[in-house]
Copies of this chain bind each other. A is one copy, B any other.
Amino acid sequence: MVNSRVSVAIHILSLIATTNDANQLTSDWIAGSVNTNPVVIRRISSQLKKANLIASNPGVAGYQLVKEPKDITLLDIYRAVQAPEELFAIHDNPNPECAVGQRIQSTLNNVYHSVQRAMEDKLTEETLQDVLDQLFH
């Protein structure tokens, strides 16, 4: 299962996108909405910042979106908070002396590739704006 950082990141970005008062947008206040520790918010915000999705300044309260919600895809968010990895794990060191063991890894890689691609395509289709539309239907 994909960890909850993606969900928290979307929550954070939704708050940033819809909160007018910048002074209100502290990691403490966001943590109150997400219901977690402020450090968890700052940790994920740091990843969103490195991915160039939000901006912030040490010492000054608040976060700002760098792009418009319609230009932030869920894949952008996913990749911002998720270590780059394959969706499916493949076991290590299958026996090369076995016909199946010898070719199972490359075969699985091929098979899984289209599955992961399908997932990422869907994540690309949906943007932060779509999330906002659903939040305030």
Dominant SS among interface residues on chain A: helix
A87/B2 contact (C-beta < 8 A), A101-B35, A131-B111 known: yes
Q: For A131, what are the chain B residues with a Cβ–Cβ distance below 8 Å?
A: 107-108, 111
A89/B14 contact (C-beta < 8 A), A94-B34, A104-B135, A130-B111 known: no
Copies per assembly: 2
CA distance A17 to B123 in the complex (A): 35
Chain A positions near chain B (C-beta within 8 angstroms) = 1-4, 6-8, 10-11, 14-15, 18, 32-36, 74, 85-95, 98-101, 103-104, 107-108, 110-111, 114-115, 118-119, 121-123, 126, 130-131, 134-136
